[in-house]
Amino acid sequence: MSDMTETTPGWLTSDELESARARMPILYVEAVPVRVDDSGEVTSIGLLLRIGPDGTVSRTLVSGRVMHHERVRDALLRHLEKDLGPVALPRVPASLQPFTVAEYFPTQGITPFHDPRQHAVALAYIVPVSGDCRPRQDALDLVWFSPQEAASPSVRSEMPGGQGVLLKQALAHVGCVS
């Protein structure tokens, strides 16, 4: 059997993915999980704690590839469930207009976003969750921060590849920072 990550149609083998990453941008979705009060105001932001391939511990957003023949909505829900657990109860907006598009380059300095593996284009969303979030897969934990804590340079500096910039943009988008 091949070294495929999943048996679901649309997944590439490791070699196929490496080849595709070397030739074209790869589409991703990224989500900033938030808790909101009854008036819809953001009260807390959830950041995943992960160990990277190099052994470093960092804070990250929910993120992952969109598979071939997969709707963006379905990819977003799949990654939210994968990272936050099956009872996170995400409320994906009816309109899938992202709050921004982040373009990651393998060369640093082109944009604030860097991914040494590839050129990736990420549609970024703010997604309220109301259920019990229990990280799965490769996440160690999910920590909830107040908007002020999440906006702090110390928290954002723990986020690799420019995700701290993306978090600041998300907070500005919902009126939590200027």
Tens of pLDDT, residue by residue over 93-150, are 899 999 999 999 999 999 999 999 999 999 999 999 999 999 877 788 999 999 999 9
- The number of domains in the chain is 1
Tell me the pTM.
0.87
Bridge partner list, 42:
36
| Helix/strand/coil for 90 | strand
Task: Give the domain extent around 26.
Answer: 22-173
The pLDDT of residue 1: 35
The pLDDT of residue 158: 95
Domain assignment of residue 16, yes or no: no
Domain assignment of residue 13, yes or no: no
Domain assignment of residue 5, yes or no: no
The pLDDT of residue 15: 86
pLDDT confidence of 5, banded at 50, 70, 90?
very low
Domain assignment of residue 26, yes or no: yes
Domain assignment of residue 10, yes or no: no
Provide the CATH number for the domain around residue 74: 3.90.79.10
- Determine phi and psi for 170, rounding to 5 degrees: -65, -45
Domain assignment of residue 17, yes or no: no
Domain assignment of residue 9, yes or no: no
**What amino acid occupies position 28?**
Y
Domain assignment of residue 72, yes or no: yes
Tens of pLDDT, residue by residue over 32-73, are 999 999 999 999 999 999 988 788 899 999 999 999 899 999
| Helix/strand/coil for 145 | strand
Comparing CA positions, the residue from 162, 99, 102, 94 lying closest to residue 126 is 99
Alpha-carbon radius of gyration of the chain:
16
Q: Within 13 Å and on the Cβ side, how many CA atoms surround 91?
A: 8
